Structures are given as structure tokens and as C-alpha cells.
Structure 1
Amino acid sequence: MYLVTGGAGFIGSNLVAALAARGAEVMVVDHLGTGDKWRNLAKHTIAGLLPPPALEEFLAARPPLTAVLHMGAISATTETNGDLVAATNLTLPLRLWEACAEREVPFIYASSAATYGDGEQGFDDDADPAALARLRPLNLYGWSKLAFDRRVAQLLARGAPRPPQWAGLRFFNVYGPNEAHKGRMASVLFHKFRQVLGGEPATLFRSDRAGIADGQQMRDFVHVDDCVAVMLWLLETPRASGIFNVGSGRARSFFDLVHAMFAAMGREPQIRFVDMPADLLGKYQYFTEAPLDRLRAAGFNAQTTPLEDGVRRTVQDFLMTGDPYR
């Protein structure tokens, strides 16, 4: 049985779909709430759904687990409740790490490219404590993910018990199906599509940095299928452990993204530039790009999805249909 925390969320539900398609037993840990988040799981057979407070009791029963894939987190980069974020994004994964180490169960968890902050220190997925110490996240969420990465590195350096396989995945800007529940934290593609569908132009942020044109802020946009492919490969490659960047390996502009979206929709581009919200000033990344050297060196050789192909599949196969859920 696979245990997937955050299994009704964006990346988690796409992972659950892939595991269920293989006939695997999958226990999902998540809150569904009162909205349509349940639709992310509706097409797939799962072993059960646990609310997060029931996780400790479930683990105490010592169920036979093939692997734990920890995708659950408070992922809002605007969250300000430090105690809540620390309990969810640091204390909980440490408990799962300990449980997996004790029971010799592989542990794969979601880290984040938010650990890199403004990118001034680069985007090297080096798990050495000294390299981790140099990173300066821009927000509470990024700090919480880095805090767990640092604790893992410290435990490894001390020779403390560890899972037989472990991997922290630094997801970059993920897009794809099953993110309608994310609200403001959904991908730019999702929001721009909804804008255009509502009869508005696609809005992009003006630049407040010299030498960077409006809409030319760049991100490493990665399709969720590529993220799932990395996790499935890890499950099949028990020798591979470490912190790994998960991205496309190529930065593209928001301008490129929306042009690909308009092409997929069969519409002429209509773009309007707006000022950046006050709560993002000084906390906004202008460039991210995932070096994939460590992932490639570990043996992952699958090609990543080109932006235009990934946007077309997301728009035409999901967002423009009557049933946009995977």
C-alpha cells in the first residue's frame, strides 16, 4: 500500500491517478472541505481517505506500506501563520521521516523551488548542510521547506536512522489538471485561462526591474506529468536518494506562457499589464530555472514536456472540456 499525503491536492491527485492506473493500493491523507476538491479523486479507486488528524493512529497500527509519498503541505506563499506552517511543513514530515526510518519504508517528499529565494545563490540542489545554509527564502512557506531539508541533511550527517530510500523534490512552477481548488495559489496558466474565458484579456505583471520588460519575468514551468514521472521512477529505483530539482530545465517567460495558451485556445493574444500586488513586492522571483544534473546523474533520463505541448494538453484535454479533472 502506498500512503500519499495531500493526495487530493494538485500534484498528489495526479500521483494517485498514476498509481491507481497501475492497480496499486493507495491510501490518501487529505482534507476535502466543502468544495469540489473531491473531484480530483473521483475517477480512481483508492484504499481509503484519512483526515490528517487520523494519520498518527493509522501509523500506530503499523499497516504494510510500500512507500510514503508526502505531498501534503500548506503551500500558500502568502500564509503568515508561522505556528501552523511549522506544524504542517516541518513537524509532520519529521514524524513521517522517523516512521519510515523505523519501519524501513521509502520516503519521498515535496520540497520546493521556493527554498532558493530570489535565486541569488543559484538553483543548485546540493544537499550539503553548508550549501543549504546559504539559501534565503523570500517567504514563510519557502523557509519551512528549507527547514525540513536542513534537518534531513543534519540527521544524515549525524548518522541518525534514515529511510532505506529518501528523496526531497524541489518542484518548480508546476501546471496541469486538478488545480481548480487551489484558489490564488493555482498556476498562472489556470488563472489566465479563466480570465480569457470570462471575456477579459490575460493580465501580466509590469516589471519593476531595469532591463526586464513587462511580462518577461521567467519561470521554469513544469507539467505535472513530468513531476509524477520522476516520482514513479524513484519508486522503481531504490538506489536513488537525495534532494532533486524537478523542472523542465529551461526558463520561459510569462509572455511565452500566455501566447502558448492563446494558441491552444485558437484565439489571438490579448494581454494587459498591471502593477504587482503590494504583498508581492520584494518577494517576487524574476527568474527560476532548474538544473537537472543531479537527477540525470542518478539515472532519470526521460525528456521533459516542452512548454507549448504541455500547455496545449492542459488547455485542450482538460480546461476546455466539460470535465476538467484527471
Structure 2
Amino acid sequence: MYLVTGGAGFIGSNLVAALAARGEEVMVIDRLGSGDKWRNLAKHRIAGLLPPEALEAFWAAAPPLRAVLHMGAISATTETDGDLVAATNLTLPLRLWSLCAERGVPLIYASSAATYGDGALGFEDDAAPEALARLRPLNLYGWSKLAFDRRVADLLARGAPRPPQWAGLRFFNVYGPNEAHKGRMASVLFHKYQQVMRGEAATLFRSDRPDIADGQQMRDFVHVDDCVAVMLWLLDNPAVSGLFNVGSGRARSFLDLVRAMFEALGRAPEIRFVDMPADLRGKYQYFTEAPLERLRAAGFNAQTTPLEEGVRRTVQDFLAAEDPYR
């Protein structure tokens, strides 16, 4: 049995779908709330669904676990409740690390490209304590993810007990099916599609930097299927551990993304620029791009999904479908 925390969420539910397709038993730790988040899991067999506070009791009584895949987090980059973020994004994964080390269970966890801050120091997935100490995230969420990465590095340096396999995955800008529950934190593709379906122009933020044109802010957009492929590969290669970037390896502009969406819809682009919200100013990444050399060197050779293809599949196979859930 696999344990997937955040298994009803965006990346987590796509992972659950892939594991279920392999015929695996999957226990999900998550909260569904009162919306349609349950639909992310509705098409797949799961062993059960438990809230996070039931983790300790489940662990005490659980059958042998093949791996823990920790995707659960407070992922809103605008969250300001430091105690909530620390409890969810630092204390909980540290407890999972200890439990996995005690029982000899592999642990794969979601880190984030938000740990790199504005990108001025680059995007190298170096797990050395001194490299991690140099990073300066722009928000509370990014700090919490970096704090856990740094604690893992410290535990490893001290020779403390560790899971037999561990992997921290620094996901870049992920898009794909099963995002509807994320609200403001859903991908740009999801939001632009909703705008267009309401009969509006697709809006993009104006640049507030003189060296970057409106719409030319760039991100490493990565399809969720590529993220899942990395995790499945890690499960199949238990000798591989480390901190790894997970992206497409190529930065593309927001204009590229939106134009690909209109192409998938068979429509002429209609784009309007708006001012950046005040709570994002000074905390906004203008460029991200994932170096994938460390992941490639570890043996992962699958090709990433080109942006135009990933957008086409997401729009035509899911967002525009009668049933948009995977």
C-alpha cells in the first residue's frame, strides 16, 4: 500500500490516478471540504480517505507501506498565517520523515521552486547545507518549503536516521487536470480558460520592470503528467535519493501559454493587460527555469511535454470536456 498525503489535491490526485492505474492500493490523507474536490478522486479506487489528524493512528495500525508520497501542504503563496504554514509545511513533514526512518519506508515529498525566490541566485537543486542557506524565498510558503529542505540536509549531515529512499521534488509551474478546487492558486492556464469561457479577454499582468515587456514574464511551465512520471520513476528506482528540480527545463512566456490556449480552442487570441495586485508586488518571480541535469544524471531520461502539446491536451481533453476531471 502507498500513502499519499494531499491525495485529493492537484498533483496528489493525478498521482493517485497513476498508482490506481497500476493496480496499487492507495490510502489518501486529505480534507475534501464542502466543494467538489471529491471529484478529483471519484474515478479511482482508493483504500480509504483520512484527515491529517488521523495520520498517527493510521501509522500505528497500518499494514506495511511501500512508500509515503507527501504532496499535502498549505500551497497558497499569499497565505499569511505563519503558525498554520509552519505546522503544515514543516512540522508535519518532519514527523513523516521520522516515521519513515523508523519503519524503513521510502519518502518522496513536494518541495517547490518558490524556494529559489526571485531567481537571482539561480535554480540549482543543490542539497548542500551551504547552498540551501543562500536561498531567499519571497513569501511564507517558499520559506516553509526551504525550511524543511534545510532540516533534511542537516539531518543527513548529522548522520541521523533517514528513510531508505528520500527525494525532495522542487516542482516548478505545474498545470493540468484537477485544479478547480485551488481557487486563486490554480494555474494561469486554468484561470485564463475560465475567463475566455465567460466571454472575457484573457488578462495578463503588466510588467513593472522596464527591462521586461508586458506578458514576457517567463516561467517553467510543467505538465502534471511529467511530475507524476518522475515520482513513478523514483518508486521504480529505490536506490535514487536526493533533491531534484521537476520542470520542463525551458522557460516560456505567459504570452506563449495564452496563445497556445487560444490555439487549442481554435480562436484568435484576445489578451488584455492589467496591473499586478498589490499583495504580489515585490514577491513575484519574473523568470523561472529548472535545470534538470541532476535528475538526468540520476537516470531519469523521459522527455518532458512541450508547452503547446501540454496545453492542447489539458484544454481539449479536460477543461473543455463535459467531465473535466481525471
Moved over 6 A (4+): none
Q: Secondary structure of 2:68's match? A: strand
- The answer to whether residue 217 in structure 2 is matched with residue 252 in structure 1 is no
Which structure 2 residues correspond to residues 102-181 of structure 1 after superposition, within 5 A?
102-181=102-181
Structure 2 unaligned blocks of 5 or more? none
Q: CA deviation at 1:61?
A: 1.6
Instruction: Quote the offset at 1:60 in angstroms.
Output: 1.6
Deviations 1:105-164 (A, max 9, x none): 100000000000000110000000000000000000000000000000000000000000
SS at match of 1:315: helix
1:43 and 2:37 are equivalent in the alignment = no
Indicate yes or no: 2:200 matched with 1:192.
Answer: no
1:12 aligns with 2:12: yes
Which residue of the partner structure matches residue 79 of structure 1?
79
3-state SS in 2 of match to 1:111: strand
Partners of 1:242 and 1:44 lie apart in 2 by 30
Secondary structure (helix, strand or coil) at the match of 1:99 reads helix
Taking the aligned partners of 2:52 and 2:238, their CA distance within structure 1 comes to 27
Match for 1:322: what amino acid? E
Structure 1: which amino acid aligns with 2:225? D
Displacement after TM superposition at 1:211 (Å):
1.5
Structure 2: distance between partners of 1:9 and 1:153: 27
Pairwise CA distance, 1:63: 2.5
**Inter-partner Cα distance in structure 2 for 1:229 and 1:119:** 26
In structure 2, the residue matched to 1:284 is 284
Deviations 1:172-191 (A, max 9, x none): 00000000000000000000
C-alpha offsets along residues 283-302 of structure 1, whole Å, 9 cap, x if unaligned?
00000000000000000000
The residue type paired with residue 149 of structure 1 is D
Secondary structure of 2:203's counterpart equals strand
Q: Hey, what's the Cα distance between the residues in 1 that align with 2:278 and 2:230?
A: 36
In 1, Cα distance between the equivalents of 2:69 and 2:63? 15
TM-score, scaled to structure 1: 1.00
Show CA shifts across 1:258-282 (max 9, x none): 0000000010000000000000000
Distance 1:243 1:121 in 2: 17
Q: Distance in 2 between matches of 1:63 and 1:107?
A: 16
1:144 counterpart letter in structure 2: S
Deviation at 1:315, TM superposition (A): 0.1
Share of identical aligned residues, percent?
A: 86
**Aligned counterpart, 2:212:** 212
Q: Are residues 1:295 and 2:295 paired?
A: yes
Distance of 1:130 and 1:60 partners within structure 2: 36
Other-structure match for 2:68: 68
Letter in 1 for 2:139: N
1:228 maps to 228
Q: Distance in 2 between matches of 1:80 and 1:57?
A: 30
Secondary structure, aligned partner of 1:204 = strand
RMSD across aligned positions (CA): 0.4
CA distance in 1, matches of 2:190, 2:160: 42
1:186-240 per-residue CA deviation (whole Å, 9 max, x = no partner) reads: 0000000000010000000101111210000000000000000000000000111
| Shift in Å, 1:62 | 4.1
